[in-house]
Amino acid sequence: MTLTPTLSTNAPQWFNDRAATAWQTFQNLPLPGIKDEPWRYSNAKRIPLDQLKPAASPSAELKAQAIAASSELTNTSARLVFVNDTLALTETSALPAGVICLPFEQALREQSDLVQKYFMQRIMQLGSDKFAALHLAHVRAGTVVFVPKNIIVEHPIEIFHWCSGEHAAIFPHTLIITGDNAKVSVVDHFRSLGDEQGFSCAVTDLVGGPGSQLTYIACQEMSMKAQAMQLASTVAERDASVKSFQLQLGASWSRSESVSDMVGKGSRSDMLSVSLPLGEQVVDQRTLQNHKAPNTHSDLLYKNALYDKSRSIFGGLITVDESAHFTDAYQTCRNLMNSPEAEANSMPGLEINADQVKCSHGSTSGPVSDEELFYLKARGIPDHEARRLIVMGFADDVIGRIGNEEIQAMIHARVEEKFAQVN
Amino acid sequence: MTARWLREIVEFNNKTSTVMTTTEDPSSISDIHVDNIGDFTFPERNKFDSGFGISSKTVDYICDVKSDPQWIRDFRHKALDVFNSKPMPTHWATKDLENIKFDQFRYYLSDGQKPKKSWDDVPDDVKRTFDRLGIPEQERKFLAGVEAQYDSEAAYSNIKAVVEEQGVIFANSTEALHKYPDIFRPWFGKVIPTGDNKFSALNSAVFSGGSFIYVPKGVKVKHPLQAYFRINSEQFGQFERTLIIADEGAELMYMEGCTAPKFETATLHSAVVELVAMKGAKIQYVTVQNWSSNVFNLVTKRGIAHEEAEVKWIDCNIGSRLTMKYPGVVMKGRKARGEVISIALANSGQHQDTGAKMIHAADETTSNVISKSISIGEGRATYRGLVHIPKHLKGCKNNTECDALLINTKSRTDTYPAISVRGNQHATQHEASVSQVSAEQIFYMQQRGLSEGEAMSLSVNGFINDLASQFPMEYSVELKRLIDLEMEGSVG
C-alpha cells in the first residue's frame, strides 16, 4: 500500500493519536460493496486505492502556475491556495479583526484546542467511514475558519486545492465555525493541474453557532480521469442558518456525502447542488437531513443535467426525531436527461417520528420538454442555443438560491464553460 | 387505549394456539391425516403434533403427503438450498426480521388440527368487531375459527357455474399442478423465480394451498373471483402459492382476504403470488388483509404484463407485527401497464413495510403507484419502492405518489423509493408528503357536534377515500368501518 501516511512532527499529540487510530481503522474496514445500502448503484472500486500515493511536494514552478490560475472571485476577504496539500499562498489581510482563518497545519499548532473541539467529531452516517478514516490519517492541508460572535465577514473566503501528478491523492479539510450571530461565506475549489488521474478525499466540518449565517460552496472541477470525494457534515445550532452548495463538474467519478444536523430550535439548513455530467462521468450524492429540534427547517434541491453515458445517483434521507415537532423538511432531486444513454438513479427517503411536521420529497427524471423547446425555436432560437438556455435555466434555479450575486455569477460561468463541452 | 381489540386477539390467539387453525380444510387433496415426519413411525401418538423446523426431510414429507410429481419435488429441494444459502435482507430491511426463528415454525399443517371451539368461546370484543364490520353470520364463525370451513356454496354457486361455463379454471394450486400441468408448469415459478428473495425461496420449498386460475382467450369474468368460492380446498395457507393466468384479451378481478381480523396460530406467513397477463389481458388483484399483531407477513407478489396488458394490484394492509410486501409488475410487452394502489394502516406494535416494484421492460410502458399510509399510536408505516427503466427503451412513464398521515406524536413513517431511469425518452416523477390531521379540520367538525374521535375517523377516511373507492363496494364499506374502529381510542 503506497498510501501509508507519515505523521507530522509539528502536530499536537492528540492529533497524531487520532491520525494513527484512523489509519488502523482505514485498514480494518472493508471496502464498501454495492450490497451496502449506502452504496447502492455506486462502486467504491472506482477509487484505485492500490495505485494512489500521497501527492508529492510541488515544485516552485507548479506552485506559481497554480497561484496564477487561482482567482475566480474579485472581492474576497481571504484567499488560500494549496498545491498537492502544500500551502502555496495565503492572503488574509482583508479579514475583520478577530476572525481566525488559518491553513490547517498552522491552526493545529496555534489553535489546537479549537480544532480539537470541532475537528471530525461525528461519525459519517452515509457509508464512507473508511474514507473518512483515510482522510484523517492523511490530512494536512485545508483551512480552519472561526468567526467570533457578532462579526460579519462581508466578502467570501476563497480557497483553492490543486492536485497534480499521476495517481496523486490529496486530502483537503475545511473547518468553519461561526460564533453567535456571525456571518461568513467560504468557497472551496477542488481542481487538477493536469489531466492525470488523481484523487481528492475532502472532509468538511461546518458548525453554525446560534443565530449565525454560514454559506459554504464547494466547486469540484478535477480532471476527467480523477475521482473526487467530499464528506461534509453540518451542525446548525439555535436559529442558525447554514447553506451549502456543491458544484460537481469534474472527475470521472465523484461522490459526496452531506449530513445536516439541525440541533438547535429554529435552525435551518439549505442543501443545494448542480451537476452537469458528460461522457461516462458518474455523480454519486448521498444526503441526510437530521431534524433533532423543534421548529427546524431544511430544504434540499439537487439538480443534474445528464449527457452522453453519464450517470447520477442520489440517495437522500430526511429524519425527524420524536421531539422535532413543527419541522419543515423538503427534498427535491431533478434529473434532466439529455441523451438516450444517460442514467439517473434516485432514492429519496423519509423517516418521520414526529407528527406536527410538514415534509415532502420529490424526484423527477425526464427530458427537456418539447413544449419549452418549441416555444424557443418558434422565436428563432436555434436548437442548440435553446437547449443551452433551458439547461442554464434549470441550473440557475438552484444557483440563484446561494444569495450572493458574485458567487452566483462565478458558478453560472463555470456551468456555461462545462456546457460548451457538450456536443 | 389503542386497538384494545387487537391485543385481545393476540391473547385469544395465544390461548388457543395449540388446538386451532383456520387455514386448512379437511377435504383438500392433501388430505392425509398425518402432520409430521414422525407420523410414519408413531402415527397414533403424533396425530395432532406437527413437526417444527425445516429440513430436506420436511420437504420430502410435504411432497409425499401431497403426492407431488418429481419436478415439484426437485423444485422444492432446490428452493430449500436457496433458502438456506440466502442471508436475511437486514442490510436494508428492519432488524425485526432477526426475531423470526425458523426452527420454531411448523411448515405444513394438515387437517389434524381442527378448531375445537364453539361460538361461545369467542371473546365478546371480537364478536363486537364482527358486528361493527357487518360480517355475515357464516363468515364470522369461519373467521373466529369456530368453523374450519366457510360454506359459500349456496351464495356463490351461480357465479361459479357461469364462470366454469366460460372455460375458466379455478382450482387450488395443488390440484392444478396435477390436473393442468400443461398450463401450470410453463408459468409456475417464472414470474417470481425461487431465488428472488429468501422468503420466496422458503415458499417455493414448502408451499401448499393458494389458488390457480386460468382465464381463456377473450373471456371477461364479470364477477370478481374470491378464494371463498373455492370450497373444499385449502384457503389461506401459511405458505400459499397463487398463480393466475389471463390469456389474450381476458379480464379478471381476483380478491383475497377480508377486513375482519384473521386469527392465526402460525406467526409466519410467506405467500407467493404470480400473475401472468397475456397480450391485451387485464388482471386486478385485490387484497385486504388484517392480520393479528403477532404475525410476520412476508409476501412476494409480482405480475408480468405482456403487450398492451394491464396488471393492477390493490393492496390494503392492516394489522400484523411486520408486513413486508412490494407487489410488482414487469411490463414486458409494448404499451403494457402496471399499477399499484396501496393502503397501509399501522397501529401500535405494527410495522407496515409496503410498496411497489415497477420494472419497465418494453417501450411505451406506463406505471402508476399510489400509496397512502396511516400511522396510529406507535405504529410505523414504510413505503419502499423500486422503479426501473433500462436504457434501450423509449416512451416509458412512471408516476409515484406516497402520502403518509401521522395520527399521534409517537407515530412513525418512512419512505424509501429507488428510481432508476436510463435515457432521455422517459418521464418519471415521484412525490411524497407527510402530514398530520389538521387541527383546523378537527376543530371545524367538533364545532358541529362531532366528538374528537369521530372527527379523526372522518379525516382519515377522507384521506384514503379516493383509493378506497377503487375497492369493490363491500370491501370499501368494511374498510371504512375498520378505520373507525382503529381510530377509536387513538385520540385524547
Using the Cβ of A345 and the Cβ atoms of chain B, whether some distance falls under 8 Å is answered with yes
Question: What's the pLDDT at B139?
Answer: 62
Task: DSSP letter for A55, please.
Answer: P
Query: Residue B266: which pLDDT band, with cuts at 50, 70 and 90?
Result: low
A375-384 average pLDDT score: 93
| pLDDT tens-digit map of A327-343 | 999 999 999 999 988 99
CB contact under 8 A, B430 and A356: no
Best of B424, B429, B435 to mutate (most A CBs within 10 Å, chain A):
B424
Taking the C-alpha atoms of residue B174 and residue B68, their distance in angstroms, rounded to an integer, is: 8
Question: What's the pLDDT at B361?
Answer: 94
Contacts of B355 (CB under 8 A, 6+ apart): B325, B326, B340, B342, B369, B371, B382, B383, B384, B385, B386, B416, B417
Using the Cβ of A363 and the Cβ atoms of chain B, whether some distance falls under 8 Å is answered with yes
Residues of A in contact with B436 (CB under 8 A): 355-357
Other beta carbons less than 10 A from residue A57's beta carbon: 11
Length of chain B: 492
Q: Residue A28, exposed/middle/buried by CB under 10 A (0-12, 13-18, 19+)? A: exposed
Best of B371, B393, B398, B421 to mutate (most A CBs within 10 Å, chain A):
B421
Q: Minimal Cα–Cα distance from B274 to chain A, Å? A: 26
Mean pLDDT of chain B: 77
A 298-327 residues inside an 8 A Cβ radius of B? 322, 325
A309-329 average pLDDT score: 92
Mean pLDDT of chain A: 93
| pLDDT tens-digit map of B340-385 | 999 999 988 899 999 999 999 999 999 999 999 999 888 999 999 9
Share of chain A above pLDDT 70, in %: 100
The pTM assigned to this predicted structure is 0.81
How large is the ipTM? 0.75
What b/e readout covers A203-237, taking b as 16+ CB neighbours within 10 angstroms? bbbbbbbbbbbbbbbbbbbbbbbbbbbbbbbbbbb
Using the Cβ of A289 and the Cβ atoms of chain B, whether some distance falls under 8 Å is answered with no
pLDDT beyond 80 at A234: yes
pLDDT beyond 60 at A145: yes
Question: What's the pLDDT at B424?
Answer: 84
Using the Cβ of A338 and the Cβ atoms of chain B, whether some distance falls under 8 Å is answered with yes
Which of B8, B5, B7, B12 shows the shortest CA–CA distance to B264?
B12
Contacts of B344 (CB under 8 A, 6+ apart): B316, B317, B318, B323, B352, B354, B371, B372, B373, B374, B381
Lowest mean pLDDT among A24-28, A94-98, A265-269, B54-58: B54-58
Q: What angle do CA A188, A194, A198 make, to 5 degrees?
A: 70
pLDDT beyond 80 at B267: no
Question: What's the pLDDT at B66?
Answer: 80
CB contact under 8 A, A361 and B430: yes
Q: Minimal Cα–Cα distance from B46 to chain A, Å? A: 45
Question: What's the pLDDT at B7?
Answer: 43
pLDDT beyond 50 at B33: no
Taking the C-alpha atoms of residue A398 and residue A408, their distance in angstroms, rounded to an integer, is: 10
Using the Cβ of A57 and the Cβ atoms of chain B, whether some distance falls under 8 Å is answered with no
Of these ranges, A247-261, B307-321, B443-457, the one predicted with the greatest mean pLDDT is A247-261
Residues of B in contact with A345 (CB under 8 A): 418-421
Best of B419, B437, B459 to mutate (most A CBs within 10 Å, chain A):
B419
Other beta carbons less than 10 A from residue B90's beta carbon: 11
| pLDDT tens-digit map of B192-203 | 998 899 999 999
Would you give the end-to-end CA distance of chain A in angstroms?
40
pLDDT beyond 90 at B130: no
| pLDDT tens-digit map of A194-231 | 999 999 999 999 999 999 999 999 999 999 999 999 99
pLDDT beyond 50 at B6: no
Taking the C-alpha atoms of residue B345 and residue A161, their distance in angstroms, rounded to an integer, is: 52
Query: Residue B236: which pLDDT band, with cuts at 50, 70 and 90?
Result: very low
CB contact under 8 A, A37 and B91: yes
pLDDT beyond 80 at B86: yes
CB contact under 8 A, B421 and A339: no
CB contact under 8 A, A354 and B409: yes
Share of chain B above pLDDT 70, in %: 74
| pLDDT tens-digit map of B387-413 | 999 888 889 999 999 888 888 888 888
B77-89 average pLDDT score: 92
Taking the C-alpha atoms of residue A221 and residue B47, their distance in angstroms, rounded to an integer, is: 74
Residues of B in contact with A357 (CB under 8 A): 406, 434-436
B54-63 average pLDDT score: 86
Share of chain B above pLDDT 90, in %: 32
Question: What's the pLDDT at B409?
Answer: 80
Taking the C-alpha atoms of residue B173 and residue A213, their distance in angstroms, rounded to an integer, is: 65
Using the Cβ of B252 and the Cβ atoms of chain A, whether some distance falls under 8 Å is answered with no
Question: What's the pLDDT at B159?
Answer: 67
